[in-house]
């Protein structure tokens, strides 16, 4: 791991992910979580203050540095929380465990999104819900072209983040249906802010 990835990127992500537009979406989506919750890519823990009534939280976070930043927020929550140093492509948890899986701005960065979604399918209970907010491919040809051009450089500086994943297609191809989905640009440069957010459930 480079010095940039170890010391700069975690602080940069913690700062960038506090953008007001993202906080607003967190405050709308995260209170919908219930029961036993798995959060994929816990990051610096910015969703934690928004959980309303859950029994416990398991956070998956491969970066030790982001886990350290999240510690303070974890300590402030009333619900039991454990953090696993693991990746979404290989979730070290028994099948049919969680009522809710939360994933915010993480599917862009996982190495194999289809494998990650198949693991989510395995660990979520049959009637469980996935709460998601993810940026991805824009429907506008001009922006889509920019996303394709910028992607190699962006991915290098942004921890593997891919600008142009078709988030809705990835969910559907993995056997999920949408109970609710909204698509649209948030504030900021259009190449990085086309968002998909909502609720998904196994078909
Ligand atoms: C842009 S940050 C978002 C963090 C957090 N979800 C949030 O909403 O602030 C992307 C996160 O995905 C995590 N990540 C990257 N690859 C992952 C993987 N394969 N499995 C789980 N998390 C991963 C990163 O460590 C980072 O915490």
Ligand 1, atom nearest to 41 Cα: 22
Q: How confident is the model at residue 58 (pLDDT cuts 50, 70, 90)?
A: very high
Q: What is the mean pLDDT of residues 185-191?
A: 97
87 lines ligand 1 (CB under 6 A): yes
Per-residue pLDDT band for 121 (boundaries 50, 70, 90) equals very high
Looking at residue 114, its pLDDT comes to: 98
**Residue 1 binned pLDDT confidence (cut-offs 50, 70, 90):** confident
- Full 3-state SS string of the chain: CCHHHHHHHHHHHHHHCCCHHHHHHHHHHHHHCEEEEEEECCCCCCCHHHCCEEEEEEEECCCHHHHHHHHHHHHCCCCCEEEECCCCCCCCCCCCCEEEEEEECCCCCCCCHHHHHHHHHHHEEEEEEEEEEEECCCCCHHHHHHHHHHHHHHHHHCCCCCCCCCHHHHHHHCCEEEEEEEEEECCCCHHHHEEEEEEEEEC
Q: How confident is the model at residue 107 (pLDDT cuts 50, 70, 90)?
A: very high
Q: Is the CB of 186 under 6 A from ligand 1?
A: no
- Supply the pTM of this predicted model: 0.97
The predicted pLDDT at position 124 comes to 98
Q: What is the mean pLDDT of residues 87-115?
A: 98
Ligand 1 pocket, mutate which of 41, 58, 101 (most atoms under 8 A from CB)? 41
The full set of domains in the chain, from first to last, is 3-202 (3.40.50.150)
């Amino acid at each position: 791991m480079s010095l940039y990835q170890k010391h700069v990127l975690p602080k940069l992500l913690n700062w960038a992910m506090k953008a007001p537009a993202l906080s607003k979406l967190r405050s709308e989506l995260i209170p919908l979580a219930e029961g036993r919750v798995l959060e994929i890519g816990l990051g610096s823990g910015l969703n934690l203050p928004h959980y309303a009534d859950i029994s416990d939280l398991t956070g998956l976070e491969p970066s030790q540095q982001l886990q350290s930043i999240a510690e303070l927020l974890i300590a402030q929550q009333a619900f039991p929380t454990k953090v696993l140093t693991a990746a979404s492509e290989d979730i070290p948890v028994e099948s049919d465990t969680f009522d809710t899986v939360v994933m915010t701005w993480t599917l862009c960065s996982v190495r194999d999104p289809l494998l990650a979604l198949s693991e989510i399918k395995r660990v979520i209970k049959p009637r469980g819900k996935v709460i998601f907010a993810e940026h991805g491919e824009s429907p506008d040809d001009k922006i889509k072209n920019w996303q394709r051009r910028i992607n190699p450089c962006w991915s290098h500086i942004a921890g593997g983040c891919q600008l142009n994943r078709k988030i809705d297609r990835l969910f559907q191809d993995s056997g999920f249906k949408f109970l609710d989905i909204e698509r649209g640009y948030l504030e900021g440069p259009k190449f990085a802010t086309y968002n998909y957010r909502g609720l998904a459930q196994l078909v």
